[in-house]
A and B are shown apart, each in its own frame.
Chain A
């Protein structure tokens, strides 16, 4: 139990996907303008990361058995793309309310490097199935945390008129991200 807990915490705080691994920067900067979109996006990411870790795990085992490790990039990206499409179709049919909340973000996720990065890392880390599920949960919670904090700060930044002109918009966002990264650095001890 403790072991799983430490995997979770390490993935969520110490090696935060965005702020120390730099995965998923595009959505982090792109959709963090508003709180509602940030929450929607990270919900969708959580869903897809956990699902794809579960799906890629047996496939990775199979590839290992046949010594086809070098195929992982192609296979994983294909699996993720298919999975996202499937999830989209299933959600549309079965849970229209959830689809409405997450639907817009789902297609964007295929090319979100956080998903591919997490599955590859889980595969290379030699995790068991349960470990990789816990790991992926931790990663996506970290994503959620970072993007929601960022959205909260950015909503406030928009009202601030004191920012120098050259720094408005993107640069100030990046600096905020840098300061957040320093804060998260503290978790590393």
Chain B
């Protein structure tokens, strides 16, 4: 799950609030685009289905973009260019191709909810870890002052670009460790199949 849609995963997770916001907006887009695609699944011709999916996703992303601009000004500014980039998130196309295109509307909606919440949970986890390490806060709540009397010196690199890679690397290693995997299972394999899936679906175009 963590390995699909890597770009937003790494880019926006410097604060827990941003991670959560990004996850939820992706979830909303995913639910609606899944519903829409599965409604239209008999209408869309096979040959042009990927462009059609992209257009559907893009329209919902535009809606989200405008909604956030109107109501969540701070979050909108923090996420910046990554909101329009939800369109090219592998998750959206991947689920459309793998699930919504041959399942009923309601099922696809629930698939969207599940996948989206999983994605949100992953994003929030990464961003919480990065915010604790990098600023000593979570959702703006100052852990550092409360429990350590400000003795913990924040490692600011965790809120910057390299920290994202490190946190993800350790999480990934941790998951593999937990799964007690022999070579070829666990999140590494999941990354392979998932990314293969999204690449294959692009390849079919």
Chain A residues with a Cβ under 8 A of chain B = 19-26, 29-30, 70-74, 76-78, 81, 85, 107-108, 110-113, 116-117, 120-121, 124, 164, 166-175, 177-179, 181-182, 184-185
A155 and B149 CA atoms in complex are apart in Å by 47
Contact yes or no, B61 A73, CB < 8 A: yes
A169 and B182 CA atoms in complex are apart in Å by 13
Q: Which residues of B contact A23 (CB under 8 A)?
A: 7, 11, 85
Question: How far apart are A63's CB and chain B's nearest CB, in angstroms?
Answer: 12
User: CB within 8 A of B59: which of A74, A121, A124, A171?
Assistant: A74
User: CB within 8 A of A169: which of B81, B90, B188?
Assistant: B188
Lowest 4 CB-CB distances: which A-B pairs, in order? A178-B165, A174-B169, A22-B11, A181-B162
A139 and B170 CA atoms in complex are apart in Å by 29
Contact yes or no, A111 B160, CB < 8 A: no
Known: A116-B85, A175-B169, A178-B169. A30 touches B199 (CB 8 A): yes
Contact yes or no, B202 A21, CB < 8 A: no
Question: Dominant SS at the B interface?
Answer: helix
Chain B residues with a Cβ under 8 A of chain A = 3, 6-8, 10-11, 50-51, 54-55, 58-59, 61-62, 65-66, 81, 84-85, 87-90, 93, 157, 160-166, 168-170, 172-174, 176-177, 183, 187-188, 191, 195, 198-199, 202-203, 205
What are 17 of the A-B contact pairs (CB < 8 Å)? A20-B161, A22-B8, A22-B11, A29-B6, A29-B195, A70-B65, A73-B62, A77-B88, A107-B205, A108-B202, A110-B205, A111-B88, A111-B93, A111-B202, A171-B173, A174-B165, A178-B165
A24 and B169 CA atoms in complex are apart in Å by 18
Q: Which residues of B contact A29 (CB under 8 A)?
A: 6, 195
Q: Which residues of B contact A77 (CB under 8 A)?
A: 54-55, 58, 87-88
A25 and B161 CA atoms in complex are apart in Å by 13
Q: Which residues of B contact A20 (CB under 8 A)?
A: 161
Number of A-B contacts (CB under 8 A): 136
Q: Which residue of A lies closest to B54 (CB)?
A: A77
Of A85, A120, A121, which is in contact with the most chain B CB atoms at under 10 Å from its CB?
Answer: A120
Q: Which residues of A contact B174 (CB under 8 A)?
A: 166
User: CB within 8 A of A181: which of B161, B172, B191, B198?
Assistant: B161
Q: Which residue of A lies closest to B10 (CB)?
A: A22
A166 and B55 CA atoms in complex are apart in Å by 40
Question: How far apart are A48's CB and chain B's nearest CB, in angstroms?
Answer: 13
Q: Which residue of A lies closest to B190 (CB)?
A: A170
Contact yes or no, A30 B195, CB < 8 A: yes
User: CB within 8 A of B7: which of A24, A173, A185?
Assistant: A24
Contact yes or no, A73 B58, CB < 8 A: yes
Question: How far apart are A33's CB and chain B's nearest CB, in angstroms?
Answer: 11
Contact yes or no, B161 A19, CB < 8 A: yes
Q: Which residues of B contact A19 (CB under 8 A)?
A: 161
Contact yes or no, A177 B7, CB < 8 A: no
Question: How far apart are B179's CB and chain A's nearest CB, in angstroms?
Answer: 10
Contact yes or no, A166 B177, CB < 8 A: yes
Of A19, A110, A111, A117, which is in contact with the most chain B CB atoms at under 10 Å from its CB?
Answer: A111
Question: How far apart are A142's CB and chain B's nearest CB, in angstroms?
Answer: 13
Question: How far apart are B95's CB and chain A's nearest CB, in angstroms?
Answer: 13
Contact yes or no, B3 A170, CB < 8 A: yes
User: CB within 8 A of A185: which of B3, B50, B160?
Assistant: B160
A185 and B161 CA atoms in complex are apart in Å by 8
Question: How far apart are A177's CB and chain B's nearest CB, in angstroms?
Answer: 5
Contact yes or no, B87 A116, CB < 8 A: yes
